[in-house]
Structure formats: structure tokens, C-alpha cells
Amino acid sequence: MNSNVSEAIALLPPNEPVHLLDPDGTYHEDPEHPLDLDEAQLRELYRLMVVTRKVDREAINLQRQGQLGVYASCMGQEAAQVASAYALKTEDWIFPSYRELGAALVRNVDAVGLLQLYRGTWLSDHNPYEHNFALMAIPIGTQALHATGFAMGARFDDNPLVSMVYFGDGGTSEGDPHEAMTFAGVFKSPVVFFVQNNQYAISVPLDRQTAAPTLAHKAIGYGIPGYRCDGNDVLATYAVTRRAVERARSGEGPAFIEALTYRMEAHTTSDDPTRYRTQEELDEAAKTDPIARMRNFLTQRDLYDDALENEIEQQAKDTATTVRAGIYDAPHGDPMELFDHVYVDPTGYFEGQRELLAAELEGGDA
């Protein structure tokens, strides 16, 4: 066989996505993906998913009450986000889209700060360098290039960090992720392209995004291995991501992961999903819920009891309450701040405009 062909075959995704946990919690051993998590870590993954769902629900409520302008829920995708972010080291960087609350909470990014974008008080309110968590990116897929450039930069600097970028099935149709994979392949950059295939780009289903056999097949055109995992299986997602991340860290180059999941909520709070999907479909998807599955697994392993449940529930509730209070108390933006961060050196800009706004704020004549 032509060696180029055999190289390409080696990059192909497996026929079936990696799957370790059944919905009833039954665990399947996989020698290629050993369970290298201790009991505390298993509980921690579960805790992070529960807290994510609670805060996510709180954000939807806050939007309903007029406290947020809009919100993009990650319900149903908790395992995909939490497990993948958890597979990174803290020095690794995360480049999110706008739906990555779960990944953000793994990094201890303050949800109140994150939600400023949706509240409309500012465009973000966390320092990316404190959490190694970039600003949310709304233009689809564009952040894939930032993650790749960052990874190139780390490699130029002999810094063994990895960057991971999140985008969705819709994002794989945009140009930037493809240019990012081209660059990452050529420069052998330590970047992991983590695609949450949640089946929909707003209303448009996967079969309108691609004719590829799977999204993971796209990667091989760039010389990048494509992996697939059951994205509602927190253990499978962790194992697959961990392997890709450490492979990248060791200098073997980028990887692409397609995590199969399902967006249980609307695209955003402005969307009406009843126009494009059925209740039956939702009911079917609910059976693969990532949180229930992990709870079943923990229960079977005697790692879950009422005390733990109460503790985690209480913590999730407290976090949601803190977020709620934080959003209610968040000051509206200071209009004069509009001019403050546009340029490091603003010499020559905003002639008269700053003064005009200041005068308007004072109620005087401009």
C-alpha cells in the first residue's frame, strides 16, 4: 500500500465512538482508554456537571426575568465540556465559543463575570490570564485560529502547554477552523480541536452541514488524527481528550475530537426549537443524559450516597444563588468606559466625543 494512504488510514476515526458508560451506569473496560481517575476525581467530575446544570438553569431563569438579554444554554453537554476541560492541566489554555459554561466552571471562571456579555453590561468580565481561559467568541469558529496561534507561540517558546478550542458541528462548516487545522498540522502545534456535535446549528441539522461520514473524518485532510467519543459519557470524553492532550503535549501535534452530544435546550433563549424538532426526539435524547449516567455509575461503585447528594445539591444551589445575586447587583456599564479600552494609546482619538457624552450625562448642553 502507498505509504501516504496508510498514513491517512492511521488518522481515521474509529468505526464507533469511544463509549465507556451505558446510560444505566454500566462501565465497559477499554484497554486503550483505562480509567485513570481516583474516587475523588470521579466525584469531582460529577459535582462539576451538577453545578454546571444548576447555574445554566439559573441563567435561563435570569433571562426569563429580564436580567440577561439572551443566554445560550449548555444543557445536555455538561459531560462533553466538563470532562474535556478537566483533562487539561491548569497551565493549558481554553478557547471557548459562547456556550462553554461547563468548561468555564472547571477553570473557576466567575459565572457572573462571564454572563456580563449576556447581560449587556460589558463584553466580558474575566481576565483571561488569570484562568488561562480566553474570552468567549461569538463569530463561529474564529477562535480556532487564536488557539492555534497560541499553541504555535507556546511551541516557539519551548513551553509544554496545550491549547484547546471548542466549537460545534456548525463551526466545522466555517473556513477558519479549516485554516486553523491547516496551520496546526503544518506547524505541529499542540492544539486540540474539540467539537461538540450537538446535532444542531440553531435549527439546521447535521446533515445540512456536511456530507462527510463523520465530523472527525474532516481532520485527516490536514494530517490530524480524528477521534470520536460519546460526549454524554463523561469517562469516555475524559479518556479520549486526555490521550489527545498528552499526545499534543509530547510534541506529536494537534488532534481533533468529535464528541457526540445533544443540545437539550434551545440554541439560545431567543430561539423556538419546537419549529424544527419534535418532543419525541427530545425524550429520546433525555435518555442519554450525562449526569444521570454518571450518578448511576457512582452509585454502583458505592461512591454516591445521600450525604454526597445533599452536599453537591447544596453547593450547586449556593453557586446559583451567588450568580443570581451577582447578576442582580451587577452595575450597569459606565458609559464613559466606552472610550477607555479601545486603544492603549488613544492620542488623537475621540476628539469631542468623550466630552459630548460627558456633557450629556451631566444633563448639560453638549
Partner 1 sequence: MATTMGQAINAALMDAMEADPKVLMFGEDVGQLGGVFRVTDGLQAKFGDKRCFDTPLAESGIMGTAIGLAMYGWRPIAEMQFDGFSYPAFEQIVSHLAKMPNRSRGTVKLPVTVRIPYGGGIGAVEHHSESPEAYWAHTAGLKVMTPGTPEDGYSMMREAIRSDDPVIFLEPKRRYWMKSDADLPIETEPAHKAVVRREGTDVTLIAYGPMVRTAMETAEAAEDEGISVEVLDLRSLSPLDTPTMIECLKRTGRAIVIHEAAMTLGMGAEVATRLQERAFYHLEAPVLRVTGFDTPYPPAKLEEFWLPDVDRILDAIERSLSY
What is the set of active-site residues? 263, 267, 276
Residue bearing cell 474516587: 39
Q: Provide the angle, in degrees to the nearest 10, between the axes of the packed helices 290-300 and 39-64.
A: 150
**Residues 345, 263: Cα–Cα separation, whole Å:** 43
In one-letter notation, the amino acid at residue 68 is L
In one-letter notation, the amino acid at residue 349 is Y
Q: Which residues pair with 191 in a beta bridge?
A: 163
Contact 79, 131 (CB under 8 A): no
Q: Which residues pair with 195 in a beta bridge?
A: 167, 258
Contact 44, 61 (CB under 8 A): no
Apex CA 193: angle with CA 244 and CA 13, to 5°? 60
Contact 133, 94 (CB under 8 A): yes
Residue 56 CB, shortest distance to partner 1, in Å, is 23
Task: Return the number of the residue (21 or 181) whose C-beta is nearest partner 1.
Answer: 181
Task: Return the number of the residue (44 or 174) whose C-beta is nearest partner 1.
Answer: 174
**Residues 176, 169: Cα–Cα separation, whole Å:** 13
Contact 58, 323 (CB under 8 A): yes
Cell representation of residue 343: 486603544
Residue 72 CB, shortest distance to partner 1, in Å, is 17
Task: Return the number of the residue (47 or 354) whose C-beta is nearest partner 1.
Answer: 354
**Residues 273, 77: Cα–Cα separation, whole Å:** 17
Distance of CA 171 to the CA centre of its chain: 13
Residue 355 CB, shortest distance to partner 1, in Å, is 14
Cell representation of residue 208: 445540512
**Residues 164, 103: Cα–Cα separation, whole Å:** 11
**Residues 175, 116: Cα–Cα separation, whole Å:** 29
Smallest CA-to-CA distance from 164 within 48, 44, 244, 49 is with: 244
Residue 347 CB, shortest distance to partner 1, in Å, is 6
What residues line the site for partner 1 (CB under 8 A)?
122-125, 127-129, 134-135, 137, 139, 142, 144-154, 156-157, 163, 175-176, 179-180, 182-183, 186, 337, 340-345, 347-349, 351
Q: Provide the angle, in degrees to the nearest 10, between the axes of the packed helices 290-300 and 234-247.
A: 100
**Residues 232, 223: Cα–Cα separation, whole Å:** 27
